[in-house]
Structure 1
Amino acid sequence: MTRRDFDPATVTPDGRPAIKAGLFDATLGGPYRGSVNGEVLGTQITVLTYGNDEPGKGPVLHVHPYDEVFIVQEGHARFFVGDQVIDAQAGETVLGPAGLPHRFVNLGPGRLQTLDIHLSPRWIQTNLE
């Protein structure tokens, strides 16, 4: 299917160059975490990656003043977002709305890998545990 959602002639480039930034060191084995602030890329989003191989493990309960979108790339996770419990697997996304405490754990078996999009030019977080 061909997509033509807008007329390219209506968008003027703003002069920013393409930028590359390291998210994680792919040469290291084991679990990895990394982040790139949107400020580095000149955007309004910050990108994080999180992974672990241990069922039951994950980030501590925390909260952000902006929305966060989790993309499960590998494995199975259980998300705790406010009063909701959401199970998600590879290929699914979960929204953590601004101001709602959240955390997630690897349900196993095997690796959990996520890509987390923070809708902010900086990673801003308060841990609650």
Structure 2
Amino acid sequence: MARNDFDPATVEPDGRPPAQARLFDPAAGGPWRGSLEGIALGGAVTVLAYGTDTPGAGPRLHVHPYDETFIVTQGRARFFVGETTIDAAAGEVVLGPAGVPHRFENLGPGRLQTIDIHHSPRWIQTDLD
């Protein structure tokens, strides 16, 4: 079914050119790791690639002043978002709301790979542990 959510004639291009940048090097081998701030592309979001082959490993507890959306692309993760624990597998998406401390870890077995979308043109973070 075709989508028709808005009238394209009502949106004026803002003059930004198309842009391209590298998030990670796929030829490097191992889990993807990298970050690309939205300002590098003239965009409104920052994108991170996070991967680990080690069960139990993951980012430390931290918080952002904006939402963060996690896309699990490979493996299984346990997310700790405030007082809530969420187990997610490849193909699932988790939201970390602005101002809510969060972290996640690889549940294994095997590689965990995520794409993390920071709803900000800059990566702004405070580590809590």
Q: TM-score, normalised by structure 1?
A: 0.96
Per the alignment, residue 94 of structure 1 pairs with 94
Per the alignment, residue 54 of structure 2 pairs with 54
Per the alignment, residue 71 of structure 1 pairs with 71
* Root mean square deviation, CA, Å: 0.8
User: 2: CA distance between counterparts of 1:14 and 1:65?
Assistant: 26
What SS is found at the alignment partner of 1:3? Answer: coil
User: 1: CA distance between counterparts of 2:46 and 2:65?
Assistant: 13
AA of the residue aligned to 1:5: D
Give the unaligned 5+ runs of structure 2.
none
Percent identity of paired positions between Structure 1 and Structure 2: 71
1:31 Cα deviation from its structure 2 partner = 2.2
Per the alignment, residue 85 of structure 2 pairs with 85
User: 2: CA distance between counterparts of 1:100 and 1:12?
Assistant: 35
User: 4+ runs of 1 displaced by more than 4 Å?
Assistant: none
1:109 Cα deviation from its structure 2 partner = 1.1
Aligned length: 129
1:13 Cα deviation from its structure 2 partner = 1.1
Give the unaligned 5+ runs of structure 1.
none
User: 2: CA distance between counterparts of 1:32 and 1:74?
Assistant: 11
Q: TM-score, normalised by structure 2?
A: 0.96
AA of the residue aligned to 2:70: F
